[in-house]
A = this chain, B = another copy of it.
């Protein structure tokens, strides 16, 4: 088969790869129906995370089950499935508490290499959720988004305790930030403030449920949020970037007793204790337990209550995956959909 490898900063190659096979009896092999480039793929693409050896790329996926291992009981060949980027058994105490991405058997970045024609999914029964039947083509982008970017935005909004009566600010206008807006809207938030200076992203933010746009950043952005909230700050802030500036902007934009949900992978961030102590802000986040939300998200998509697939504003044949990386790196696309 063919799949995507990253050889170093900005060196993406679509090339011949070994066909994945069942290794553990709990594995499944899927044929990808669609794949995409994740914002987090840009960390190694940009050379911020070092690439020491060529690495298979892609961890967001939907597809048709081709084969299952001998211990797989619930997932069947022929099913259309959505899975999380962390394989999990979905039975341990941590999974049952809703933190499948910290499952005691977790396998991060599973599958390795989903920007490909086929992928091996470990712990298939725990990791995959089948749709009620084969979806129509127009639902596939949204179902794919549930695999990571929607699930991550949803976790950000949930960790920020978005809900009725709440004012929610979202720091970051990438696909995760935009889908955190959609999520906060679904959770019943009263006001949703999108922080963005990009016209196209502002437009999508408003379509997803944002009620206000703030174009300022850093301390000016914080001051603007305070202006909009009676001097107090937002009840809930979603951090969807992962930098020091975005994290501090999020903590400072939240009111005392407020909640910051952070889902940007934290890079070079240090939270200084003295300032944080006196902020009275709740912090929660990390790698989203997407598996926890998948049944609900699939249901919302299946019944066309939400259309998160709109974050894909560039569609390419999988063979042109390198163009997808480039467009996202240059921010000329929000998110690239890849069709095998």
Mostly, the A contact residues are mixed
**Knowing A94-B232, A94-B256, A232-B93 touch, does A101 contact B280 (C-beta < 8 A)?**
yes
- 1/0 per residue A265-302: CB within 8 Å of B? 11111111110111111111111000000000000000
B104, B257, B271, B282: which contacts A102 (Cβ < 8 A)?
B257
A273 is contacted by which of B255, B257, B268, B277 (Cβ under 8 Å)?
B268
Q: Are A273 and B269 touching (Cβ within 8 A)?
A: yes
A285 CA to B285 CA in the complex, in Å?
Answer: 16
Q: Tell me the complex Cα distance, A257–B256, Å.
A: 22
**Chain B nearest CB: distance from A45 CB in Å?**
19
A102, A256, A283 — most chain B CB neighbours (10 Å): A256
A276 and B284 in contact, given A98-B257, A232-B93 (Cβ under 8 angstroms) = no
Min C-beta distance of A93 to chain B, whole Å: 6
Q: Hey, which chain B residues are within 8 Å of A273, CB to CB? A: 242, 244, 247, 266-271
- Residue of B93, B242, B255, B270 touching A271 (CB-CB under 8 A): B270
Q: Are A265 and B277 in contact (CB under 8 A)?
A: yes
How distant is the Cα of A247 from the Cα of B286 in the complex, in angstroms?
18
The reply to whether the CB of A262 lies closer than 8 angstroms to some CB of chain B is yes
Say if the beta carbon of A53 comes within 8 Å of chain B: no
Q: Mark A47-77, 1 if CB is under 8 A from B, else 0.
A: 0000000000000000000000000000000
Q: Which of B244, B271, B279 contacts A276 (CB 8 A)?
A: B271
Q: Are B230 and A93 in contact (CB-based, < 8 A)?
A: yes
Q: What 9 A-B pairs come out closest when comparing CB atoms?
A: A269-B273, A266-B273, A102-B256, A271-B271, A99-B257, A283-B283, A266-B277, A280-B286, A282-B284
Other A-B contacts than A262-B277, A271-B276, 14 sampled, CB-CB below 8 A, are A94-B256, A94-B257, A99-B280, A102-B256, A242-B273, A244-B273, A256-B286, A267-B274, A271-B271, A271-B273, A277-B285, A279-B286, A280-B286, A280-B287
Partner-B contacts on A (CB < 8 A): 93-94, 97-99, 101-102, 104, 230-232, 242, 244, 247, 255-257, 262, 265-274, 276-287
A-B contact pairs, 20 of them (CB 8 A): A93-B230, A94-B255, A97-B257, A102-B280, A104-B231, A104-B232, A244-B273, A247-B273, A262-B277, A266-B276, A269-B273, A269-B274, A270-B270, A270-B271, A277-B285, A280-B286, A280-B287, A282-B283, A282-B284, A283-B284
